[in-house]
């Protein structure tokens, strides 16, 4: 087995390679049925080979597909690629809110060692910043997101201090 930097080299399965080739030629939508006929084996939304093929195409060839639930996949144009990232922003915001909520469960902040207090404060700042950065209000009105006076930062720091 060949190695790359001491790690086994990745070898794509024949089924994944067949899906990569088939998807590369798709310009819009393709059903799982049509994709299965093209590659010669059953393909569904939960096929690990389909997930691998999609990841390969996205990372290596900038070809992105989104799932059409229960039906197939759709190749995204550049506008679609941008629109599809909204769910990533929602996930980041939700994760940041959960992190802040967990930090609020600390019962005796003052009794923590200074190193732990600093770590909690920094983490709370990260979570607050992440949540504010992906706020749909900021994206809908980008001009409002930029405040030259720095008042947004001051408000952010006040909220972080109050959260602790």
Note the pLDDT of residue 79. Answer: 94
Note the pLDDT of residue 133. Answer: 85
Would the CA dihedral through 20, 24, 28, 33 be positive or negative? negative
Which tokens sit at 65? Answer: 């597909």
Question: How far is it, in rounded angstroms, from Cα 120 to Cα 118?
Answer: 5
What pTM was estimated for this model as a whole? Answer: 0.66
Note the pLDDT of residue 149. Answer: 47
Note the pLDDT of residue 147. Answer: 52
Note the pLDDT of residue 132. Answer: 86
Q: Are 78 and 67 in contact (CB under 8 A)?
A: no
The residue with tokens 């967990």 is 102
Q: Which fold has domain 3-82?
A: Arc Repressor Mutant, subunit A (1.10.10)
Question: How far is it, in rounded angstroms, from Cα 154 to Cα 40?
Answer: 60
**Closest by CA position to 28, among listed 84, 61, 72, 58:** 72
Note the pLDDT of residue 46. Answer: 92
Note the pLDDT of residue 144. Answer: 55
Question: How far is it, in rounded angstroms, from Cα 130 to Cα 127?
Answer: 5
Q: What angle do CA 75, 79, 80 make, to 5 degrees?
A: 40
Instruction: Give the residue ranges of DSSP H helices in the chain.
Output: 14-24, 32-39, 48-61, 78-84, 86-103, 114-133, 136-140, 142-145, 151-163
Domain boundaries, the chain: 3-82, 85-163
Averaged over successive runs of 10 residues, the pLDDT of the chain (164 residues) comes to 65 94 95 96 94 96 95 96 90 94 94 94 92 73 52 67 62
């Amino acid at each position: 087995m060949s190695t790359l930097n001491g790690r086994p080299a990745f070898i794509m399965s024949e089924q994944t390679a067949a899906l990569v080739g088939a998807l590369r030629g798709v310009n819009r939508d393709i059903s799982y049925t049509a994709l299965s006929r093209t590659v010669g084996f059953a393909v569904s939304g939960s096929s690990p080979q389909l997930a691998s093929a999609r990841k390969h195409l996205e990372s290596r060839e900038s070809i992105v597909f989104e799932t059409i639930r229960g039906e197939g996949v759709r190749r995204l144009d550049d506008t679609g690629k941008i629109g599809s990232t909204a769910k990533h922003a929602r996930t980041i915001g939700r994760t940041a809110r959960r992190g802040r909520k967990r930090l609020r469960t600390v019962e005796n902040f003052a009794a923590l060692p200074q190193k732990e207090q600093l770590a909690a404060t920094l983490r709370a700042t990260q979570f607050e910043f992440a949540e504010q950065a992906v706020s749909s209000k900021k994206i809908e009105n980008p001009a409002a997101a930029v405040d030259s006076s720095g008042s947004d930062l001051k408000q952010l720091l006040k909220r972080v201090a109050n959260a602790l």
